[in-house]
A and B are shown apart, each in its own frame.
Chain A
């Protein structure tokens, strides 16, 4: 196992000793993660390990009980509302279900951040929006409403919206869930292309091992509130740890048990009636 505790020179996002508790259960306890500038970093792990929660910590949607969450050297939890908003303008986030504003057309959804944050006239907004829609291949869908889009299309529109303000960090929350193989391929290609052509830093939360292998420079495997392994996808595949092997090969039982903790089955069926 390769541990990553030395401060990486080019790290844009840094989590150190993060503890986060929800409903009395510690989701994270001593989480250390470094997201390097210019790379596509994947965060993997079984469902319920708090991958999405980690994104919410980085974006300041929730705050950690203990530990540091640094984005470009700034401690997110100490920022006031206006500073937090200033930081968020440098980030784009793709939500699991797209989270498009349902009462606006595709075009208006992508134009939304521009209209809210700039005073650009329509003749400048239009070429920007069309360029971003073109980048995700949906220039022709500009007049459709979110309800008229398929899941994959909706996610691509959301991606266009996420990049319309030219962010430095692009965050993807489960971008592959529920997509057909073709849409999946499109999204995989887009993540890589956008990262390289726009000079972004990307964070991809997912548990789709094969897609991650195709797109990520580095991957973190989370389990039990900690990082259990980190490295390039091929390095992770080669690791000889039961936890990593179970996850990477999709074995039903292992360190993550098949059964939710329960009393003894036979005793529950035949005896011990309270």
Chain B
């Protein structure tokens, strides 16, 4: 019993220490942001790495999620005889919820792991130490552009995801199931408000900060061995996913 209590206390204090380190690191990242934005070319490169290279997977997933939403939504709504509302249901679901969340989860898997392993390998091959020795702050030169790249790429990717998703829902609902296209679009236009879109934008911005910070933190602090880099990559996906879902609930509760 005492053993369990001790282990519980240890793991709790361990997590608290980790949360504290995370907070300090995120604080450092945010404080460096204005200066890092001045070196815009480096940031643009990373927006390309994190964003443009994730486009295919985001678009494909968006299409299929939208199509499933079209099928399930149609099946559900026609039970109440209101299948014309399919456009509204799909758009709200995608813009407010599925777009930001699924994009963030996919982003953690594609771009987050790439970032973490890249930084981890840079540490393992002494590139980070070499930067230090050249009197170049690695956080400023290497970490910041990657973090900002994620923060900028995430809302853009989420927007594309939602757009393609709505197209997918339309494809199934209108073309396949025969929902009236006029009803589909006009109801959507009438019901979806700017506030709904903003909810999605805010969420994806917050997820961008979270996923970016977790990936660069884990990579930058990886133990410089093959195993350490592997573990950092895994932790990036696991932590990002849990944090995104947790934040999603909190943000939804606040903004509804």
A-to-B contact residues, CB < 8 Å: 59, 61, 81, 85-86, 88-89, 91-93, 95-97, 99-102, 112-113, 116-117, 158, 161, 165
Contacts and interface: CB of A to CB of B under 8 A. Distances in A.
B126 interface: yes
Contacts of B141: 116
22 contacts: A61-B129, A85-B135, A86-B135, A88-B133, A88-B134, A89-B135, A93-B130, A95-B129, A95-B130, A96-B126, A97-B126, A99-B130, A102-B127, A112-B136, A113-B134, A113-B135, A113-B136, A116-B134, A116-B135, A116-B136, A117-B136, A161-B134
Contacts of A92: 133
A101 B43 CA distance: 17
Secondary structure of the A side of the interface? mixed
B102 to A, nearest CB: 30
B132 interface: yes
B125 A88 contact: no
A99 to B, nearest CB: 4
A136 to B, nearest CB: 17
Contacts of B127: 99-102
B132 A61 contact: yes
Nearest to B45: A103
A91 B130 CA distance: 12
Q: Which of B127, B132, B135, B136 counts the most A-chain CB atoms under 10 A from its CB?
A: B135
Interface in B134-172: 134-137, 141
Given A61-B133, A117-B136, 17 more contacts: A59-B133, A81-B137, A85-B135, A85-B137, A88-B135, A93-B133, A95-B130, A97-B126, A99-B126, A101-B130, A102-B125, A102-B127, A112-B134, A113-B134, A113-B135, A116-B135, A116-B136
Contacts, number: 50
B153 to A, nearest CB: 18
A260 to B, nearest CB: 21
Nearest to A96: B126
Interface string B96-107: 000000000000
B137 to A, nearest CB: 8
Q: Which of A97, A101, A102 counts the most B-chain CB atoms under 10 A from its CB?
A: A101
B129 A99 contact: yes
Contacts of B136: 112-113, 116-117
B132 A95 contact: no
Interface in B111-131: 122, 125-127, 129-130
In the complex, the 10 A-B pairs of residues with the closest C-beta atoms, listed nearest first: A99-B130, A99-B126, A85-B135, A88-B135, A93-B133, A95-B126, A89-B135, A113-B134, A116-B136, A99-B127
Contacts of B137: 81, 85
Contacts of B132: 61, 88
Contacts of B133: 59, 61, 88, 91-93, 95
Contacts of B125: 97, 99, 102
Nearest to A103: B118
A76 B135 CA distance: 14
Interface string B55-95: 00000000000000000000000000000000000000000
A89 B132 CA distance: 10
Contacts of A113: 134-136
Contacts of A96: 126
A54 to B, nearest CB: 15
Q: Which of B122, B125, B137 counts the most A-chain CB atoms under 10 A from its CB?
A: B125
Contacts of A95: 126, 129-130, 133
A88 B130 CA distance: 11
B142 to A, nearest CB: 9
Nearest to A173: B126
A219 to B, nearest CB: 23
A158 B127 CA distance: 11
A99 B136 CA distance: 14
Contacts of A91: 133
A97 B136 CA distance: 19
Contacts of B135: 85-86, 88-89, 113, 116-117
Contacts of A89: 135
Nearest to A115: B136
Contacts of A85: 135, 137
A158 B126 CA distance: 12
B176 to A, nearest CB: 46
B66 to A, nearest CB: 36
A113 B132 CA distance: 11
Nearest to A165: B134
Nearest to A164: B134
A88 B129 CA distance: 12
B135 to A, nearest CB: 4
Q: Which of B127, B133, B137 counts the most A-chain CB atoms under 10 A from its CB?
A: B133
